[in-house]
Structure 1
Amino acid sequence: MRAFLIYSALVVAGLLPVCQATARVNADAVSAYSDTTRQRFIRALDEARHGAFSAQSDLAYDLRNYPLYPYLTAADLQHELARGADGALDTRINAFLADYPDLPPATKLESVWLDDLADRGRWSEVLNHTQGVDTTTARCRAEAARIGMGRGSLANARALYDVGESQPGACDPIFEWLAGQGALDSGLIRSRAHKAILKGDTGLAQYLTGQASGDAPVIQNWLDLTNNPRGLTQAAPGLDDDIAVHVFKRYVLAAPEAAADALPTLVSRFGIDAAGKYEMQRYVALLFAEEHRPEALLWFARVDHARLDQAEDDHALGWEIRAAIRDQRWPLVIAAINALPPAIAQDEEWRYWKARALAATDQADAARAIYRPLAAERSYHGYLAADALDQDYQFNEQRVPDDAAIAARLDARPGYARARELHALGMDSYAYREWQAMMKALPQDEQMQAARRAYEWRWYARAILTLADADYWNDLDIRYPTPYSDDVRAAAAANDLDPAFVYGIVRTESLFQPTVASPVGARGLMQLMPGTAKLVARQMGRPAPSSSDLNDPRENTTLGARYLADMVDDWAGNLALATASYNAGPGKVAQWLPQANMAPDIWIATIPYTETRQYVQRVMSHMTVFQYRLSESITRLNSRIDSVRPAYPNRKTSF
């Protein structure tokens, strides 16, 4: 209850985002400081942000040794800065930034302070604080300072301007100075518009058209072709090579066959060089392979493979192999994998498919020689290899050892203590930044202990990712935790699903973060879109959930498991198809069905979307580990991913 009161105080004070309003504070998992101390810090932080905090107060004295005390100082300094700076305040801010360069609030404080210094013409201080900082904002502030000191560089200003994307506001004074020097000429504007089109920022290119005077028609022609790529076949010769190639790629997306047929003519008309022709052929081959077109391998045969190999283009090389896999042209699969650059050929995916191709061409001994070491690995392709050999799956569990001396070194790090307290207070955005800054300085042994601690605090996502940063993969307690067990088991049982399957989805979707939201709006443990959640709730006769309701683990898993079960039913129990549908949508999966029955490993390997292909493989692999963690009977991959059929007539889900 006291932990919840701390959390409520943070929300009321405006110190936590509203989207976290259903989260619970983790004070019960971190006991280094009392709830009373944490409540005092919350009160002090609110006072500091409103100008009511005094470093000489009893409250400040009580908190002087609390790890988050620097946050109070940062908030107090920023409030003072908003009221007006002077030399004394500059000195205090400068000293604070020197003492706490990686403190998250210091970043915002420094940004506001540098803007204030610039407004006051304190150019030498601005330059001093931006030297050696490799961000666009810092480079622009530094150049603005040089201009203010009479040492502006036209070359530097042009370099900051001539990029294919909008620049931060700190760059505006430089561009104004550039124009004032008469150096913002039509050629420079054209160059920037050219880069913007190649980066896909047509809005910036259109804006620049209005400034380009004599070159405006050229830029407008580029834009017209970009917006209507079919017009490339009628465009006049003389188009820049890279613009022609860029527009051609858009043409391929709009009309694949017509663009492919027009390629030789376009190369000749625009005098496109060998590098440009290679890009065009590569793009056609890739799209045809991803769309499972039968001509894909013919197009790959035309691509300059010396360029592919030199670039170690694993995406294109991979799709050439996948096209051969889907066509079951096994000798070509073997030859293509043998020709891979060594760094790519050792990937578990290609080791598996080489063995699979060898087995399909009656080279069983050679296939087994590859399968055996692969079957010892805890991975999707490792499990497939074990299936091929009819061997037990290997889990290779080895926990992170508890080391008191290493843990003591970790405890002594201020950033670690701050991250711990921020997480305990539910301020995970700040906790994450503190953690990441600390991790940069940690040796592997401390990273491993840090992962253990994060797991003990129930900060599962940080624990998993920290262990990955430490390149340690065998502590399955940390990497495959089973929180929210009652909710997951109840949701799975209600929908006749294996809880290990639900956990596999949860781990892949959210890394056990109940309040996480994706950029497109998916929320919670199973990353449900609010619209989908409402449709599922209506089917179940439940009230429509709000977006914040989806942050509740029980609500999220109840609705998510029902949606997942609908996918399983639609695809006649095929978990691979159900998993792909959960990620990409059932409509897309229906488009990817084969024309004849297809082995499931082939279908999964040739899913067009990289994200979905990897998602299915991860969920299937994670499900296997969760069966082991939950002491369930292990179901083999080849029993849960059935042969994929051309049609599933009983499909009914309309999502």
Structure 2
Amino acid sequence: MHQILRGYFVRWAGILALGVVFAVPSAFAEKTKKPKLPKSYESKAAPAEITDTDRMFIDLREAAKKNDVFRTQQLSSALVNYPFDDYVAYFRIKPQLFDSSGDPRNDYAADSQVLAFLSQYQGTALADRMRNDWLLVLGKRKDWARFDVEYAKFVLDDDTQVKCYSLLSKLSQGESPAKLAADSRSVLLDPSYFGQACQELVPALAAAGGMSSSEAKAIGRAASEKGYDTMARRLGGDDPIGEIVKVAKTDPAKAYRDFSQTASRYSKENQALAWGVIGQFLAKKLDPNADDAYRLQQDLGYNELLSVESQEWKVRAGLRAKDWVLVKNAIDGMNPAVRSKDPAWTYWYGRALKAEGQDAKAKESFELIADQYNFYGQLAREELGKPNHAPSRTKVSEQEINAMANRKGFIRGERLYAMNLRFEGNREWNWELRNMTDKQLLAAAEYAKRINLYDRVVNTADRTKQEHDFHLRYPTPYRDELSPIARQIDLNLAWAYGLIRQESRFIMNASSSVGASGLMQVMPNTAKYVAKKIGMTNYTSDKLSDTNTNLTLGSNYLNMVLIDLDGSWVLASAAYNAGPSRSKAWREKLTGPTEGAIFAETIPFNETRTYVKNVLSNANYYSSILNGQTQSLKQRLGVITPKAATQSELP
């Protein structure tokens, strides 16, 4: 069974929020113009070279990742007086808590070391990480007394397994099973993060009478839908519609046809749930029968027993079919924790109310997210007739910026970044940001800009609530290089920047797990193809790491897909991420002209769906910053018309 990531690397994606990994850097901003820095910044802008001791530290980190006790003991003993003594200690202790598969160990040998570590480094980011690890060990032991003491000190509290252990602890102490089951509804959302703890919690709540058999089976079914079949059985036991789920995952059209003939053999509840699963997988195939399957489910009820995926795709199926009644009913029936986590559902609920002629209630819905600067916040403001320009700029003083140079978390983070330890660097940097005011966040973002850490510029400026600086939230490094390239091929500069911000956060040496690299995350084969097309006769693969070459090839490819897809920024953005053939295939599935926002929301790939919305939202703000122009996001999204898919020569 798929083992859920835990321990040291469990929140890589959440912290980085880019979907990329990084090659070892030589510098953080190759060939970009560097501002003149105060002397206090100069040493930080050019960190010392990586030493042999640093490389040993990096090896220690890799050994700790594998929970290799012998190797970590060996390496840590050689790193006496290393500046990151807390990390050396952490990397030595952590493998003693977990085995090679990532499961907590059953022995108590490291307890005294953990307690000493938590005492020595209390209040630090790494102590909170250690506490997270130890809570998993204590939970497995069922040492609830000590677990409860440590859980109260866990600052981030962002581990699903730890939350499940906390509920198990309360259950063991006699708290109401019904109340705990209700509390679990905001925790048991994504089986990908359940691990052992949540697999114990669900049967325990069911056995205690707090959760019905149907509810337990629904959680198990959600796991099965994601391919965790062993987990599904542990959570809910045998599922009466298990075979239907299995068929729906591989051939939803067949499941739809077959169940249309056999539905009467099942109870009303199981009919509803089967139609919900079939609807989900039909919707992911952009099959118009998804709307019909979900309407059959809606007539039967049991919305609360649908998985998160089925609840969300029910809305998307309604959008694709322009079935506003289904859209409204689907959102009404959502788990409140699901409904509130994404502004999409607030926006589309407002649109459904508007389609019913309930303009006043629709306005109330749009107002709920109109103060957000994301994709759906922009669309909501447009529905309310409000402009989408960047907010007024809050400036910070040199004194406020200078103060950031002495922040311990930033100093440590910079050195970790220099060693290409971005996970650790982000931890230190983000921990330092906790409890900062908006002006402090802007000062920190400006400091990051001055030392050329542009991903931290974006990440930090993005956190402000009332006072903003969108020149930091949407920075424009490499402008001297990118502007002439875009101008030469008539490529919209705001769109190009919006894409780079999403692709790499302006980290030149960013590289993806599939081989894309650089500011525009260009794939090697794509680079070779584009170089040939534009007559770059001196291109070799090693030049893809060159700033100007990367921007030239990426910009030209972006322009090529735009032309290939009839000038649609939605289709071209999707194609840049998922490939032109997929973008064309998704377009081919349309049954009529479809507004760009609906097309974007119904893209089957989670990554591409998020990507397209972010790129185009970014582009709108970049347009405001670069040109002082406020453009309608709806106009930028346009209307996508059906067209038979054609084979593209573009890679």
Question: TM-score, structure 1 length as denominator?
Answer: 0.64
CA 533–105 in structure 1, closer or farther in 2 if over 3 Å, else same:
farther
What is the distance in 2 between the residues matched to 1:441 and 1:490?
A: 41
What is the distance in 2 between the residues matched to 1:47 and 1:273?
A: 52
Query: 1:168-203 CA distances to partner (integer Å, 9 max, x unpaired)?
Result: 66649979x98xxxx799x99986443121355464
CA 350–507 in structure 1, closer or farther in 2 if over 3 Å, else same:
same
User: What is aligned with 1:70?
Assistant: 86
CA 93–508 in structure 1, closer or farther in 2 if over 3 Å, else same:
closer
Q: Pick the aligned partner of 1:556 from 530, 540, 550.
A: 550
What is the distance in 2 between the residues matched to 1:300 and 1:583?
A: 30
Structure 2 unmatched ranges of 5 or more? 1-19, 61-71, 99-104, 250-254, 371-376, 602-608
User: What is aligned with 1:569?
Assistant: 563
Over the aligned positions, Cα root-mean-square deviation in angstroms equals 6.1
Query: 1:220-279 CA distances to partner (integer Å, 9 max, x unpaired)?
Result: 4554564524433312141525624523524753796656567777777xx5469899x9
User: What is aligned with 1:232?
Assistant: 259
CA 246–136 in structure 1, closer or farther in 2 if over 3 Å, else same:
same
- Does the Cα contact within 8 Å between 2:499 and 2:520 map onto a contact in 1? yes
User: What is aligned with 1:484?
Assistant: 478
The 5 A counterparts of 1:111-260 are: 129-130=150-151, 133=154, 134=157, 135-138=159-162, 165=191, 171=197, 192-201=216-225, 203-205=227-229, 216=238, 218=240, 220-221=242-243, 223=245, 226-227=248-249, 228-233=255-260, 234-235=262-263, 236-240=265-269, 243-250=273-280, 253=283
Question: Which is greater in Rg?
Answer: 1
Aligned-residue offset at 1:454: 1.0
- Does the Cα contact within 8 Å between 2:217 and 2:239 map onto a contact in 1? no
What is the distance in 1 between the residues matched to 2:532 and 2:358?
A: 51
- Does the Cα contact within 8 Å between 2:457 and 2:473 map onto a contact in 1? yes
Q: Are residue 444 (structure 1) and residue 438 (structure 2) matched?
A: yes
What is the distance in 2 between the residues matched to 1:51 and 1:636?
A: 59
Aligned-residue offset at 1:340: 0.9
The 5 A counterparts of 1:329-348 are: 335-340=357-362, 342-345=364-367, 346=370, 348=378
User: What is aligned with 1:398?
Assistant: 393
Aligned-residue offset at 1:401: 1.9
Structure 1 unmatched ranges of 5 or more? 1-16, 325-331, 355-369, 380-395
What is the distance in 2 between the residues matched to 1:560 and 1:539?
A: 13
- Does the Cα contact within 8 Å between 1:593 and 1:644 map onto a contact in 2? no
What is the distance in 2 between the residues matched to 1:520 and 1:128?
A: 43
Q: Which segment drifts farther, 525-534 or 314-323?
A: 314-323
CA 19–612 in structure 1, closer or farther in 2 if over 3 Å, else same:
closer
Aligned-residue offset at 1:511: 2.2
User: What is aligned with 1:100?
Assistant: 121
What is the distance in 2 between the residues matched to 1:95 and 1:459?
A: 34
CA 430–483 in structure 1, closer or farther in 2 if over 3 Å, else same:
same
CA 218–112 in structure 1, closer or farther in 2 if over 3 Å, else same:
closer
The 5 A counterparts of 1:162-561 are: 165=191, 171=197, 192-201=216-225, 203-205=227-229, 216=238, 218=240, 220-221=242-243, 223=245, 226-227=248-249, 228-233=255-260, 234-235=262-263, 236-240=265-269, 243-250=273-280, 253=283, 272=301, 286-291=316-321, 296=323, 299=325, 303=329, 315=344, 318-319=347-348, 335-340=357-362, 342-345=364-367, 346=370, 348-353=378-383, 370=385, 374-375=386-387, 377-378=388-389, 398=393, 400-404=395-399, 406-407=400-401, 410=404, 413-471=407-465, 474-489=468-483, 491-492=485-486, 495-497=489-491, 499-517=493-511, 522-537=516-531, 539-540=533-534, 552-561=546-555
CA 573–106 in structure 1, closer or farther in 2 if over 3 Å, else same:
same
CA 272–136 in structure 1, closer or farther in 2 if over 3 Å, else same:
closer
Amino acid of the structure 1 residue aligned with 2:121: Y
Greater RCO, 1 or 2 (C-alpha within 8 Å, sep 6+): 2
Aligned-residue offset at 1:533: 3.8
User: What is aligned with 2:24?
Assistant: 21
What is the distance in 2 between the residues matched to 1:619 and 1:520?
A: 24
Amino acid of the structure 2 residue aligned with 1:492: A
CA 493–231 in structure 1, closer or farther in 2 if over 3 Å, else same:
same
Q: Which segment drifts farther, 606-615 or 230-239?
A: 606-615
- Does the Cα contact within 8 Å between 2:24 and 2:420 map onto a contact in 1? no
What is the distance in 2 between the residues matched to 1:549 and 1:255?
A: 40
Question: TM-score, structure 2 length as denominator?
Answer: 0.64
What is the distance in 1 between the residues matched to 2:438 and 2:176?
A: 46
Q: Aligned residue pairs: how many?
A: 565
CA 105–209 in structure 1, closer or farther in 2 if over 3 Å, else same:
closer
Aligned-residue offset at 1:431: 1.4
Query: 1:121-146 CA distances to partner (integer Å, 9 max, x unpaired)?
Result: 99976775456655454467789999
Query: 1:413-436 CA distances to partner (integer Å, 9 max, x unpaired)?
Result: 432332233334443221111111
